[in-house]
């Protein structure tokens, strides 16, 4: 039900109880404000008891009020323009120290990501990537640096990595038209979610490939199209999503893959070191 909460509330409004109508009406008309309210604050705004607000969240299919608030935040963020996000961020930061506030938000996101990361899903993603015939990688717009960094690092030791991120919609499908069952697509997308990435995931699933996605929330449209979905809880900073937490997940993935394929990875890295040295790639400090 929660996937279309606001639409559901509008369609079922007449059948709700008096207290439910008060909450529903506020959410429909002020979901952008409610997204950052505590249960007690929403109760105060609607004139309903806090326990009723919490019960309303569970009746709507959420695990509790925090899950409802999280859904609303994703809804707000996915619908906001860059200018609106900047205004909201400035409002949330207020007159505080920008460096401290942004760092605190990223630390909270990192802690939430670690606490909520499903270890079995993470291990499954590592196994799928390591056993793939071809590893396709996609991430566009704000997620483009993530796809680029991941594919670059993987490409240093794996010969089967293909970054299919491109500015041309048609070229995406041309680059992985032969994706098959033994292949893996690693996809990155954060609010506002890219339609191109979602279409790419759908294409991969139709061709029976395994999909590993790195996104921000259970409410992300990438979730139902993924075999392994790694949640990188991303704070909203300035005009775009913070990439700190996704980079942490990428670092963990690369480390786990390197550990699982240690012998091969070490051999490839030693070859690269010899190549770099013979071509004076890096400046010597001593």
* Euclidean distance between CA atoms 246 and 44, whole angstroms: 36
Domain ranges within the chain, ordered by starting residue: 2-79, 113-259
Which residue did the predictor score with more confidence, 170 or 117? Answer: 117
Question: 162: part of which helix (H) or strand (E)?
Answer: strand 161-163
Indicate the pLDDT class of residue 239, thresholds 50, 70 and 90.
Answer: low
Task: Please report the pLDDT score of residue 240 as a whole number.
Answer: 66
CATH 1.10.10.10 is the classification of domain 2-79? yes
In this predicted structure, the answer to whether residue 237 has a pLDDT above a threshold of 60 is: no
Task: Please report the pLDDT score of residue 228 as a whole number.
Answer: 98
Which residue did the predictor score with more confidence, 225 or 284? Answer: 225
In this predicted structure, the answer to whether residue 243 has a pLDDT above a threshold of 50 is: yes
Which residue did the predictor score with more confidence, 3 or 221? Answer: 221
Q: Which fold has domain 113-259?
A: Rossmann fold (3.40.50)
Q: What is the mean pLDDT of the chain?
A: 86
Rg (CA), the chain: 22
Average the pLDDT over each of 68-72, 84-88, 157-161, 243-247 and give the range with the smallest value: 84-88
Task: Please report the pLDDT score of residue 85 as a whole number.
Answer: 66
Single pTM value for the model: 0.76
CB count in 10 Å sphere of residue 143: 24
Cα–Cα separations (whole angstroms), residue 92 to 63, 147, 190, 225:
26, 30, 20, 33
What b-and-e string marks burial along 64-97, b requiring 16 or more CB atoms within 10 Å of the CB?
ebebbbbbbbbbbbbebeeeebbebbeeebeeee
Average pLDDT over residues 88-106: 76
Please identify which residue in the block is written with the tokens 């019960």.
55
Task: Please report the pLDDT score of residue 2 as a whole number.
Answer: 39
Average the pLDDT over each of 134-143, 145-154, 230-239, 262-271 and give the range with the smallest value: 230-239
Task: Please report the pLDDT score of residue 153 as a whole number.
Answer: 94
Please identify which residue in the block is written with the tokens 């205004």.
87
Average the pLDDT over each of 124-128, 150-154, 216-220 and give the range with the smallest value: 216-220
In this predicted structure, the answer to whether residue 50 has a pLDDT above a threshold of 60 is: yes
* Euclidean distance between CA atoms 230 and 218, whole angstroms: 10
DSSP 240: E
What b-and-e string marks burial along 196-219, b requiring 16 or more CB atoms within 10 Å of the CB?
bbbebbebbbeeebbbbbbbbbeb
Cα–Cα separations (whole angstroms), residue 56 to 24, 44, 92, 126:
9, 15, 26, 39
Average the pLDDT over each of 176-180, 192-196, 211-215 and give the range with the smallest value: 176-180
């Amino acid at each position: 039900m929660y996937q279309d909460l606001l639409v559901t509330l509008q369609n079922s409004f007449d059948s709700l109880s008096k207290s439910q109508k008060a909450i529903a009406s506020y959410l429909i008309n002020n979901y952008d404000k409610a997204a950052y309210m505590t249960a007690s604050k929403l109760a105060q705004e609607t004139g309903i008891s806090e326990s009723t607000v919490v019960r309303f969240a569970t009746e709507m299919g959420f695990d509790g009020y925090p899950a409802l608030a999280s859904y609303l935040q994703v809804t707000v963020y996915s619908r906001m323009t860059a200018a609106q996000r900047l205004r909201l961020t400035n409002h949330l930061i207020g007159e505080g120290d920008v460096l401290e506030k942004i760092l605190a938000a990223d630390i909270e996101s990192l802690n939430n990501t670690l606490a909520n990361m499903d270890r079995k899903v993470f291990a499954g993603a590592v196994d799928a990537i390591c056993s793939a015939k071809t590893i396709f990688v996609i991430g566009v717009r704000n997620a483009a640096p993530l796809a680029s960094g991941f594919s670059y690092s993987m490409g240093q030791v794996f010969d089967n990595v293909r970054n299919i991120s491109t500015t041309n919609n048609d070229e995406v499908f041309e680059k992985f038209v032969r994706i098959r069952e033994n292949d893996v697509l690693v996809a990155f997308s954060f609010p506002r979610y890219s339609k191109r990435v979602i279409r790419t995931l759908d294409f991969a699933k139709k061709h029976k490939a395994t999909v590993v996605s790195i996104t921000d929330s259970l409410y992300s449209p990438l979730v139902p199209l993924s075999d392994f979905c790694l949640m990188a809880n991303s704070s909203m900073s300035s005009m775009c999503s913070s990439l700190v937490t996704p980079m942490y997940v990428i670092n963990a993935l690369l480390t786990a893959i390197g550990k699982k394929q240690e012998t091969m990875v070490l051999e490839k890295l030693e070859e690269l070191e010899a190549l770099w040295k013979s071509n004076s790639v890096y400046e010597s400090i001593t």
